[in-house]
Amino acid sequence: MKGIFITFEGIDGCGKSTQCELLKDYLKANNKDFIFVREPGGTVIGERIREILLDKKNTQMTARTELLLFEAARAQITDEVIKPALEEGKIVLCDRFFDSSSAYQGMARGMGMDFVAGLNMAATGGLKPDVTFFFDISAEEALERRGKRGEASDRIELAGLKFQEDVRRGYLELAKSSEGRVITIDASRGIDEIFEVVKGSLEGKI
């Protein structure tokens, strides 16, 4: 029995992590067998790569280095954690997966979305999410939310408003070409209202 692989995507500050937590609580309350992971990270090796990627001191990191580090962490978590869990029939929730690389590095860093898509498939051995939620919000509103939370920005969040706008554009392109895998949700709505859409989209699948 194969499990179901659900990913959460969006620009920084879109509210996807909040929706991840709500879905985790919902699955627990309904006695569903699931695991939750994040990208980059989720493994000993992946967490070490995450530290390098998000460290503000690493200002000389090139776009190609950044992309390959993300893919390396992705390869590790796919083989070590995600595939085994799916083979056991579990639900896998992942805060970011390969669509992030397509939007952030492919579009916003100018590496090319087709080029990144090829690396994504190499890193995951062809594994794709069954359902991807893209929480769509303007870069300005997302920035305002991050400011209200008072969180310290990491290296990628410091790239600026134009960068986040380009990331959003990448996600919107991905959603159009995903053949229904990517479900776009208006993230400017209320938290509970958004979660009702998430739950409704998963009805009959989990």
Q: Which residues contact 145 (CB under 8 A, 6 or more apart)?
A: 13, 15
Write down the CATH number for the domain with range 4-202. 3.40.50.300
pLDDT digits (tens, 9 = 90+) for 71-81: 999 999 999 99
Please tell me whether the overall predicted TM-score, pTM, comes out greater than 0.95 for this model. no
Class of residue 107 by CB neighbours under 10 A (exposed 0-12, middle 13-18, buried 19+)? buried
What letter would DSSP give residue 129?
A: -
pLDDT, tens only, 172-195? 999 999 999 999 999 999 999 999
Higher local confidence (pLDDT), 148 or 188:
188
Domain boundaries, the chain: 4-202
Tell me the mean pLDDT in the region 11-21.
Answer: 95
The rounded distance, in Å, linking the Cα atoms of 27 and 131 is 16
Measured between alpha carbons, how far is 134 from 66 in angstroms, rounded to an integer? Answer: 22
Nearest to 124 by CA among 7, 21, 18: 7
What one-character DSSP code corresponds to residue 122?
H
